[in-house]
Chain A
C-alpha cells in the first residue's frame, strides 16, 4: 500500500510490497547495527555492571551532542514560558496590552522592545514568549490525543490481527489519502476555529501514523519466545499485552511521539497562519506571522522572530527524536 504519503513527517513505507510501516521496527539492543543503518554514529557501550535498556539508552543519548542541544532548548523554552508571568510583563509589557499612543506601534527593535512592537503597539518579545505556551500546549495535547487513539487501535490491530487488523489499517489508509493540512481545515471548518478545536483536529489526524508504528512494533515483539512462554503459563491477553509486549514495543513510539510534537507545532502554526487555528488576540506564532504578512517589508522583525521561535522549537524536537532513535536503536526510515 502506498497510500501513505502526504505529511513527510509520517514514517513511510518503502514500497508497494510493504504493509504499512513494516520497516519501523524495534530491534532491541541485541542486534548488531545493520550495514544500511544511517545512524551508526553512536557505538554500543561496552561497560559492564548492571545495565538496563533505558540506562543504556540514556548513556548513548548523553553522547549525542545535537540531541542534548535539543533537550536543553526544550527545557529552556519550558522554563521561560512557565515563568513568563514573573518576568515578561514587568520587563517588556503585557502580550495583550494594546498601546494606541502615537508612535507606539511598529517600533523597530530597541532596548525597551528587543524584538520591536507590532501594529497594535504590543511587545513582540512578550508575545513570542507567551506564544510558546500555545505551541507547546497544542503540541503536547494533540500528540496525547493521537497517542490515546493510535496506541489503542495499533495494539488491537497488532495483537489480534485478522479482521481487526484489516479494519484498522484500511481506516488508516483512508486517513492517509487526505491532504494533511486540508483535512485539518475541513475538520475545523465544521468544528469552528478555536484553540481547543485545533489540537483536537491535529490529534485526530495523527492517530494513523502512531497506530502503524505501534502495530508493526507489536508484530515483531509478539514473535518472541517469552510471549509464548507467558501464554503457556496461562497469562491473560491483558497481562501479556501490558506486561510483556507493550514495554518492549514502546521504544519506536517514544521516538515517533517526540518528533510528532514538533510536527504538531508546525501544523498549529500553519493553521493559525491560514486563519483556521488559534484566534486573535491570543499570542500564537502562526497568528503573529499571519499578521506580519502584510507588514513584511515595513516591519521585518514581525516576521523574523515568531518564525525563528517555531524553527528552533521544532528543530529541538526533531534533534531529540533523532537522538532517541539512535539511543534506543530503533530502525525507522526517513
Chain B
C-alpha cells in the first residue's frame, strides 16, 4: 500500500510540470500574441516605471527557462501574483470566497449522490420499465441543458411565477435581499440543484450501467443459487461492487465543484470563487483568472489523489495487481 501511495503521488509530478508549462507558455513573450506584462497586471494603463519593475520582478528579460523556474517556484511558495486592480494578492482574494464555494459544493454533492444513485438503482433493477425509460430519457435531457439557462429558469419559475400564482405563500428565495423571512440554508437549494444537475444525470447513468453489469456476474448467480432473497442479492452483493466507480466519480466531481462553479455562481450571483473569476474576466483582471486556474488545478489534482488512494483501500485488486498502469 505504501508503495502504491508513493508511486501514485509521483505520477502527479509530470502532470504538474505539464500544467505549469502550459500556463507559463500562455503568458510567455513572443509565443502567443498576448503581452506578458498585460497578463501579469491585467488590462489597465500602467506607468513605464511600473512596467520596468514588473519585467524585473518576473525576470521577463531573462531566458525562458529561468522565467519558468521563477514562475514555478513562486507558485510552490504560494505566490500567485497580485491583482493590480484591487491591490491584493490573488490567493487572499480567492481564499475569501472559498467558504461560499465549499458550502455550495457540499450541498451539490449531497443532491447528486442521493438522487443520482437512487435513480440509477431503480433504473437498473426495473430495466426497461416505464421508470427506467423515464430515468434514461431525463438523463439525456439533463446533460443537454445549459446549466446557466437552467439556473435562470429556476429563478423565473420558483422565485417569481410561483410567488405570483400562490399569492406569495410558496416560493423559493432567489437572493438574500428578497427574502428576509427565510432561514439561511434555503437560499442554497436552487443553486445547489442547478450545480448538481448535469452530474446527477451522469451518476444515474453510471450507477445504472454498473449495477446491470454487476448483476450479470457469476457471484450474483451464486448468491441467488444459495437462496438469498432478491433484496439481499441486489443490495448486499450487486450494489456494493457497483458503487465503487460511482464513489470515484462523485469524489472527483466534488473536487471539480470546489474549484468554483463559474456558471452556476454567476447566474445566482453566488459570492464564490467561480463568480470572482467571472468578475475578473469582465474586468480583464488576468492575474485572478490565471491564479484561479492554478489553484483549482491543484485542488482537483489533490482530490483525485485522495480518491485514487481510497479506491485502492476499497478494492484490493488495485493494490496488488500492478496498480495504476
Name A's interface SS: helix
With a cutoff of 8 Å between Cβ atoms, the chain B residues found around residue A297 in the complex are 155-156, 160
**B256→A179 contact, CB < 8 A:** yes
With a cutoff of 8 Å between Cβ atoms, the chain B residues found around residue A275 in the complex are 281-282
**A289→B144 contact, CB < 8 A:** no
**B152→A1 contact, CB < 8 A:** no
Given A14-B245, A307-B152, residue A186 in contact with residue B199 (CB < 8 A): no
| Bound Cα distance A38, B205 (Å) | 9
Q: Which of B34, B128, B209, B266 contacts A274 (CB 8 A)?
A: B266
| Bound Cα distance A8, B199 (Å) | 7
Given A35-B213, A177-B297, A190-B39, residue A16 in contact with residue B156 (CB < 8 A): no
**A15→B19 contact, CB < 8 A:** no
Q: Which of A286-315 contact B (CB under 8 A)?
A: 286, 289, 292-293, 296-297, 300, 303-304, 306-307, 310-311, 314-315
Q: Spot the interface stretch: A155-163, A239-247, A262-270.
A: A262-270
Q: Say whether B190 faces chain A, with CB atoms less than 8 Å apart.
A: no
Q: Spot the interface stretch: A74-82, A83-91, A166-174.
A: A166-174
Given A17-B318, A303-B149, A334-B205, residue A273 in contact with residue B19 (CB < 8 A): no
Q: Which of A14, A276, A307 contacts B281 (CB 8 A)?
A: A276
| Bound Cα distance A66, B133 (Å) | 12
Give min CB distance, B202 to chain A, whole Å. 5
Q: Say whether A187 faces chain B, with CB atoms less than 8 Å apart.
A: yes
Q: Say whether B158 faces chain A, with CB atoms less than 8 Å apart.
A: no
Q: Say whether B93 faces chain A, with CB atoms less than 8 Å apart.
A: no
Q: Spot the interface stretch: B20-28, B179-187, B224-232.
A: B20-28
Q: Which of B267, B293, B318 contacts A178 (CB 8 A)?
A: B293
Q: Say whether A333 faces chain B, with CB atoms less than 8 Å apart.
A: yes
Name B's interface SS: helix
**A315→B19 contact, CB < 8 A:** no
Q: Say whether B14 faces chain A, with CB atoms less than 8 Å apart.
A: yes
The winner among A41, A187, A311 for most chain B CB atoms within 10 A is: A311
**A189→B289 contact, CB < 8 A:** yes
With a cutoff of 8 Å between Cβ atoms, the chain A residues found around residue B318 in the complex are 15-17
**B282→A322 contact, CB < 8 A:** no
Q: Say whether A6 faces chain B, with CB atoms less than 8 Å apart.
A: yes
Q: Say whether A5 faces chain B, with CB atoms less than 8 Å apart.
A: yes
**B140→A319 contact, CB < 8 A:** yes
**B22→A303 contact, CB < 8 A:** no
Q: Which of B22, B209, B297, B315 contacts A334 (CB 8 A)?
A: B209
**A185→B281 contact, CB < 8 A:** yes
**A2→B286 contact, CB < 8 A:** no
**B18→A173 contact, CB < 8 A:** yes
> What are 30 A-B residue pairs whose CB atoms fall within 8 Å in the complex?
A2-B324, A5-B249, A5-B304, A8-B143, A8-B199, A12-B249, A14-B245, A17-B318, A19-B325, A36-B212, A36-B214, A174-B14, A174-B22, A177-B297, A179-B259, A179-B297, A190-B32, A191-B34, A266-B146, A270-B263, A275-B281, A275-B282, A289-B152, A296-B152, A297-B156, A307-B152, A310-B144, A311-B146, A333-B209, A334-B205
